[in-house]
Amino acid sequence: MAQILDGKALAKRIREDLKKEIDGYLKKGMRNPSLVVILVGDDPASKVYVENKRKACKEVGINSLVFNLPAETTQEELLNLIKKFNEDDDIDGILVQLPLPSHINTQKVIQAISPEKDVDGFHPLNMGKLATGMDGAIIPCTPLGIWIMLKHYKIPTFKRDVVVVGASNIVGKPMALLFLRKEEAPVSVCHINTKNLKNYTKTADILIVAVGKPNLITPDMVKEGVVVIDVGINRTEDGKLVGDVDFEGIKEKAQAITPVPGGVGPMTVASLLLNTVSIYRMKHGFTPHPLTDI
């Protein structure tokens, strides 16, 4: 039976530590860290994610300004809002929830966010720093959360065969880059045009799946002793949340596995808080937060 990698418990500990840290700054007379979150339109899943982010900020003492903009918001209006917060010294982080409505150019919006305030790490400057191994990259929240979880639960990563399924800019690509950096481990990245997925997944010591398809990974596709990180969040017809992995089947074969819910999701939110506090620390002349400095 696999070890269950409890992201919910670890995220709670991180939030408790952050709260203490922020209380310490306030006692010294410093202001609260601050995060702007912008949601355009009313995608139900995005609304839930944004609400989770707002609650988590409140719990630890990060001031969050949440903007729920109507779906008809123009690109220019959104860019103007971002510009305003780029120039506001009291704002540490800016996050625009994705996906955006189709009339808005996502690339333009990502590039409009000041790289220093890019808590998501999606700006090409941050992605480029991550890809080239340069210092100071802000690491996207889901890969950062997975990395922190692997390290916390003492899962060895050096020289392990890593397979990432899903090549999105939000998860798959930056996740692969984290393993490539410093030649930590070889990585195979699979995506929609991978001819025989099982050929790859069978080789994995660490399998990270971020696709959004329930039961994409079945027990016959993994080897005995694999570590499985399930990034998927899918809602079944009866309203249950499930990942991309056949959890019940695979937990019999795996060495360790993340549950859905309670695995990667809470760690993504914790990483957003960490990135925000890290930016705040650097702005005040301190080192980045140690958990983001990987």
Say which amino acid occupies 16.
Answer: E
Nearest to residue 274, comparing CAs of 31, 53, 24, 50?
A: 53
Residue 160 or 213 having the CB closest to ligand GUN: 213
Residue 107 or 199 having the CB closest to ligand GUN: 107
Minimum CB distance to ligand GUN, residue 13 (Å): 21
Sheet holding 63-69, edge to edge: 63-69, 34-40, 93-96
The count of other CB atoms within 10 Å of the CB of residue 149 is: 24
Minimum CB distance to ligand GUN, residue 208 (Å): 15
Interaction residues for ligand GUN, span 109-128 (CB under 6 A):
120
Residue 34 or 142 having the CB closest to ligand GUN: 142
Report if residue 141 touches ligand GUN, rule: CB under 6 A.
Answer: yes
* Candidates 95-103, 145-153, 177-185, 251-259; binding stretch for ligand GUN (CB under 6 A): 95-103
Report if residue 97 touches ligand GUN, rule: CB under 6 A.
Answer: yes
Minimum CB distance to ligand GUN, residue 53 (Å): 9
Residue appearing with tokens 């269950």: 4
Interaction residues for ligand GUN, span 164-193 (CB under 6 A):
170
Report if residue 81 touches ligand GUN, rule: CB under 6 A.
Answer: no
In this structure, the chain runs to a length of 294
> Contact with ligand GUN (CB under 6 A): which of 22, 78, 95, 104?
95
Residue 64 or 97 having the CB closest to ligand GUN: 97
Strands 227-230, 162-165: parallel, antiparallel or unpaired by DSSP?
Answer: unpaired
Nearest to residue 14, comparing CAs of 145, 209, 115?
A: 145
The count of other CB atoms within 10 Å of the CB of residue 158 is: 9
Minimum CB distance to ligand GUN, residue 219 (Å): 28
Residue 56 or 98 having the CB closest to ligand GUN: 98
CA distance 90 to 241: 37
CA distance 150 to 291: 12
Through-space distance between the first and last CA atoms of the chain, rounded to whole angstroms: 30
**Residue facing ligand GUN at closest CB distance:** 98
Say which amino acid occupies 75.
Answer: Q
CA distance 203 to 110: 35
**Residues acting as catalytic residues:** 53, 97, 120
* Candidates 96-104, 184-192, 224-232, 274-282; binding stretch for ligand GUN (CB under 6 A): 96-104
